[in-house]
Amino acid sequence: MLKKSFVFCLFLLAITTACNKKETLYKVVKVKDGDTIELLSPDHQNITVRLAEIDAPEKSQAFGQAAKQFTADLCFGKMVKLIGNTKDRYGRTVATIELENGTNVNYEIVKNGYAWQYLAYSHNNVELAGLEQNARESKLGLWHDLNPTPPWSFRRDEKTQRLNKPKVQSTKPKRHYRKRRKKLPEAVSF
């Protein structure tokens, strides 16, 4: 009987702990671009987050500033949940962000036409594909453009241009500097 009571108490304690466990909330302190934000953790650490499964236009690209503004309007200064914690090659956390009310920030950006589903990193996400298709058909955000350039193509083209750009030789004459000789201290005589 004592053993059953003890097990029952442990079970109740486990359920109570699980129900009372609060999810960690982070504050959005910076929006770098349409799909990259900076969070402040409860222990005051800055975390750069690349939003998973989506790709927004680059800042220098058409609709890049609009995507950044939409993301800022949606979540800047708000408390959010961080879902996922993988790292990309730049050391950023790749994750889904949810507002306290349950709104999926990643999905909202695509739904409103400010990002593509990033097919290279979003495998079989039918819901996200549907949100993008609806935005395309409704000509929302970047879909106003007849033929918008996906960010991965834009980045590739930018890189190709940088690599193919001929290096320009400087027309300034090279300056030659003479090495100064150090003066030796004069000998002291006794």
Q: Which residues are catalytic?
A: 50, 58, 92
Write the burial class of residue 26 (CB in 10 Å: 0-12 exposed, 13-18 middle, 19+ buried). Answer: buried
Contact 55, 118 (CB under 8 A): yes
Pairwise CA distance, residues 96 & 175, whole Å: 55
Characterize the bridge pairing of strands 93-99 and 79-87. Answer: antiparallel
Characterize the bridge pairing of strands 46-51 and 25-33. Answer: unpaired
Helices (H) and strands (E) in the chain, counts: 5, 7
